A and B are shown apart, each in its own frame.
Chain A
Amino acid sequence: MSAARTGNSSVLSHALKDALIAAIVAFGLFMLLLGFLTDDSRGPLRLLTRPVLLATTIGIVFVGRFLISLIYYNATTLRYYLGALWTAICSLAREFKIALVVLLLLIGGGWVFFSPKDWPLILITVATILIGVRFGFSAALLVFAALFPVAFYNNPYFLGIAIIILTYVMLGWGLNIVVGLAGLLDLGYVAFYAVGAYSYAIIAQAYGWSFWVCLPLAGLFAAFFGILLGFPVLRLRGDYLAIVTLAFGEIVRIVLLNWVSLTNGPNGIGSIPRASFFGIPFNATETGFAAKFGLEFDPTHRTVFLFYVILALALITNWVTIRLRKLPVGRAWEALREDEIAVRSLGINPTNTKLTAFAIGAMFGGFAGAFFATRQGFISPDSFTFPESALILAIVVLGGMGSQIGVAIAATVMTASFELFREFEQFRLVIFGFAMVGIMIWRPRGLVSTREPTAYLKERKTISVEHVTEGRG
């Protein structure tokens, strides 16, 4: 460490020198290419100069090269200083915990004093940080999610995006059971999402049953389809399994397209009954939610309600998965991912074990599908194409197979960035591709690639990535 410290000034000057050389080379290269422009659009040929563009380019090269040589070639030094800084912050936070809380409250209070309109945002920020310091990252995320509608009540656009994000978090967690825990590569997960959505739409329309009755039915239907698919295909392994599940996804979509009498074909099913507040509809009538609770009618009520429904569904998925991992069936899934032959030698029925993984994963996909149908009010086979399956799988892979928190972060980043880059429609997939390549280089096993043991004798030790098998189907 002391070597790293003494090398500090030379590291900095070395990086500066390196960046300067790169800037000079860039100047030589770009002077003629970017610095001058011949233009004949208006009258005779003229020579234009573009000093700003040239300077910007060289500036980018300089800064970029400086950062690269600082970070890349001197990673140890940098890591040492960052580490020291982080340790200092942590120990400060630990030493002055009460002071920190007071400081936060003071800042929050001052903020409220100067701009009282922002109080929900301030509340959520302060609460999240406090919970995060005390109980850790996951708890902070949970509090943030729970308070989100309070802070962004006046921003239906944000609420809408949050609902979409949570839907994908739930789908990611559902698929995580199949891919992350049991190690079965499923490329047709969207089929179960579709089965859930369509069974909800058809049952709700035909029988007029409420959302809370149809939701479990949709999940059961999807689970049934999971078993139906599982029986013939689970004897396949790896690539073969992936291809068959891919085909199953397409078959379901094509059946939905062509079975016009049941699904209304490509026109889709419209006017699906909206979710009600346990029987009380969200509308402006006398018997509506607003009137019953003495509120002024506001369409956001429904959005907030939907937000909490999907949050609850996602959290149930998470809770069940965490519980299942610690039960024999969950351990058998992970064992199956690690080594199927050893699993069989211990008297565990591999087919049943895989089927339960498929069925439970499919069931959560079905729940998400039912929610999707009631939120949209309209579904068509277009919503259940292969890229959707690929997106959900990408969420699981990016998040780190088997990691709940990693999948949640990946789903948030992917879905939110798709929304943020909506203006750059054409470049979205390019950015997506770059992000994937970046992950492959720096985090080939996903954001969170460690594994938490499900039982321990003395102490719980996180298992590092090199021991964990990815599973070959």
Chain B
Amino acid sequence: MRRIRIGAGAGYSGDRIEPAVELAEQGALDYLVFECLAERTIALAQQARQRDPDSGYDPLLEERFEAVLRQSVARHLRIITNMGAANPAGAARAVARVARRMGLAGLKIAAVSGDDVTAQLRDRDLKLIESEGSTRDIAERMISANAYLGAASVVEALQHGADIVVTGRIGDPAMFLAPLVHEFGWSMEDWDRLGKGTLVGHLLECAGQVTGGYFADPGYKEVPDLARLGFPLAEVEDTGSAVITKVAGSGGRVGLDTCKEQLLYEVHDPALYYQPDVVADFTSVRLELIGPDRVAVTGGTGWPRTDTLKVSIGYVDSYVGEGQISYAGPGALARAKLALQIVAERLQLTGVRTSELRLELIGVDSVYRGAGVTNEPEPVEVRIRVVGRTDCMREARRIGNEVETLYTNGPAGGGGAWKSAREIVAVVSTLLPRAEVQTSVSYEVA
């Protein structure tokens, strides 16, 4: 039976480079997919593009393509990525430049556009999902608005012979679904297969998270050789059934347990996993270990897609100021608590206006945020963290300053003060009627 082999070359924008090279060289792949676009990334990329119209795509794009392009061309594997971020056409030109520099002329690079729906959102009042409020609340501070596209434009590009397809915002699993639709000729209304293809994409989209990354817990869950973690590949059949595996000899492992954790990762109702092409249903998924680092994935299905597309909106939310300083040795905790008390009083005395303020003890209560904190023995060292939200940068800076001045004005032995003030670009989501989103594909030849 014919199988298509798809590898995941990155699970986020800053991910390791070499595992993708290993996949390109040894994975016998037909397709290599790089998922590099977190929720906020596109808003930051849009800000970069406002400063320089040729930028706005992933900062590691050139480096990633330089690392895998020669092998990919030699082995006739095609690359799909959302590294286009806020500028897919600019990204396609950048890939062409890399290819020419490497002497790889003739490559056809497709750019998928149309995810930018900033114009469609103007003067609209749409209810937000996954948080409170509506789009009107943030309209004036909006930086970017991008719809999650489906697989169709990528399929079109592949049908037109693209060797490389670069997109902006697209449903992550759709980048894996597209080559399956193209290769097997699946109907875009075959909900069962689209559901199964989405399942494969979902398991692969975070790359190392299904091969043992984000998993190890010494004494409970062991994972070998995480420093050389291998990224996953799927062998997919026309039925939509697949085997998740990785390159032999690479680090990490693929097991039922790693696949189960990734199956539910960022899923709410497993019967209704909303994607642009299909509502996938994971409730009937069956996993079977069929060999070392080989998990067979069968079952799973899908239901007709909805009439709306999810849109993520980036906007300037606020400013955040932060300061940290450490205390160690006998009485560390008492001195740290005194330090927090002093900073709280100083912020009040000097009239620093915050809409939200956190006074924390790193090593005691900062990560857990109060949940499940027990009366453990006193720590031998503790670091205070004061962080507050303000409505301007100037005010944000004053927070870190009040921590830094503890050096000479606070408790004994405070060391390693650090401060920062930053603009917060936040992201909210809404739904837009699908009919309002028009996509297009353009081509660049290296």
- Say whether A and B bind each other: no
